[in-house]
Every structure is written in C-alpha cells, then in structure tokens.
Amino acid sequence: KLASREFKKEDTVITIGDVKIGGKEIQVMAGPCAVESREQLLEVARLAKKGGARILRGGAFKPRTSPYSFQGLEEEGLKYLAEAREQTGLLIVSEVIDPRDVELVAKYVDILQVGARNMQNFALLRAVGKANKPVLLKRGISATIEEWIMAGEYILAEGNENVMFCERGIRTFETFTRNTLDLSAVPIIKQLTHLPIIVDPSHGTGKWKLVNAMSKGAIACGADGLIVEMHPEPSEALSDGPQSLKPEKYEELMKELQVVASAV
C-alpha cells in the first residue's frame, strides 16, 4: 500500500512554499471554525500570524449537523481567505464537502481539508486525489485507524502524494467531551505510515479549556502539527464558539508549545 511504512521508509515531508509539514518543525493551523465576514477573518488572520502560526484555517463550506444551521459563506468566504493570505503570507487550509467543488476550493486554498463526516466519501477522496493540492484528511467520527488509512489510500491511489492525517476525536460513551481525542493514533499513524499527522484538540474535546493540555500532549506524542480553532470573540462565533480559544489563550498556547516542541 502506498501509505505504508513498508512501501516508503522515510517520513513524507509536505512542502508548501517555505512551510514544511512532517519535518522537524511543528506547524500550527489556527483560525475560526467558519469564515463569518471579511472583518472577522482579516482580524483573526492578523492574530494567528502574530502568535506564530504559518497556516490559517477557516471553513467556507461547513458540514453542519442541521441543515438549518449556518452553512458557510462559500466562494465569498474563499475570497476572504485568499485576501488574508495576501495580507499575512499565511497559508490557507479550508474544507471541501462536495466533489463538484474541489476545483473551486483548490483555486483559493493551499491545503484541502476533508472533514470527519466525509472520510469515506469515496467520490470526494478520488476528486481531491486528482487535485494538485495537499490534503488534510480528518478521521471519521467512528472510523478505525485501518479505515482511516485506507481512506488516505484512495487519495494516494489517484496520484496525490501529499496527504496528512488529522486526528480529531472519535465517538465513545463519554459525554463530558464532544469527542474522545485518541492521541494513541499519533504514534500508530507514525508506525504504520510515512505520512504526517496533525491533531485537532478543538473538535477532539469540544471545550476550549481542554485545548491547551491536549495540544501539548499531542506534540509530546510526536504529532507534526495542530489545527486549532481561535476566534476574536468566541461567544459570538457562528459555530464552535465553546471550543474556540480567545486570542490571548492562543498566544499563551503558542509560547508553551515551543517548550514542548524543543523537548521532543
């Protein structure tokens, strides 16, 4: 299998401009759950950059549980993301939820995100596999590690070698947290594959108060980076406010991460 360690012994390092994912450096992708407005996004991009992240996250197409919830700004949101990149030099990661939108999203972003709900959307996996952009593949809500790796295999099989996995928590009997963040997935992915692994402590816990501890834990476990939700005013966020860091908590985290990163 193309993803396996047997197929390729050395770690895959995904290079985008001067940003390397899977190398020695830890990469942080920070930003709001959803792109809500031009003002919100440009402000959050400035804050993300100031804290030291190299990559800005923000959903323009949102896979919401309810069809009546905010679905995202779609192409307008992608335009704001591209504007934020121009202003800050940050790379952009954003989700694509429909195979028919892959070309459109790929036109604006640097990394295509496949969300947990679409991990086994094989038409989408094949479509991002044909795209000329790295892919961040989130673990399905109830997916085994084997199923997740095989989903990655669909992308690789189409010729796209730049796949990174993202552990974002799985559904268990626990209800205190939104999901149960499976940090054991980090060393397991490292053992079984040559591809980078990113951890999402925001969706992994659902609670901003747990994000700092789980982020540091993820880096200590060997993760190549984090994807963290941050919002200028979490109480006013249109989605995932309870798990979004305030800018000052984000800055604190970024400082503490350096200490952990230098120790691993």
Binding residues for ligand PEP (CB under 6 A): 33, 59, 63, 115-117, 138, 168, 200, 203
Beta bridge partners of 257: none
Cβ(48)–Cβ(56) under 8 Å?
yes
Residue nearest to Mn ion (CB): 33
Q: Quickly list DSSP for 99-122.
A: GGGHHHHHHH-SEEEE-GGGTT-H
List the x/- string, 221-240, binding to Mn ion by CB under 5 A: -------------------x
CB-nearer residue toward ligand PEP: 5 or 117: 117
Residue 110 interacts with which of Mn ion, ligand PEP, none, CB < 5 to 8 Å by class: none
19 binds Mn ion (CB under 5 A): no
What are the φ and ψ backbone dihedral angles of 112, each rounded to 5 degrees? -90, 130
Report how far apart the first and last C-alpha atoms of the chain are (Å, whole number): 29
The residue (of 63 and 217) whose beta carbon lies closer to ligand PEP is 63
Among 14, 21, 30, 33, binds Mn ion (CB under 5 A): 33
Angstrom CA distances, 158 to 123, 154, 199, stand at 11, 7, 25
Shortest approach of Mn ion to residue 147 CB, angstroms? 22
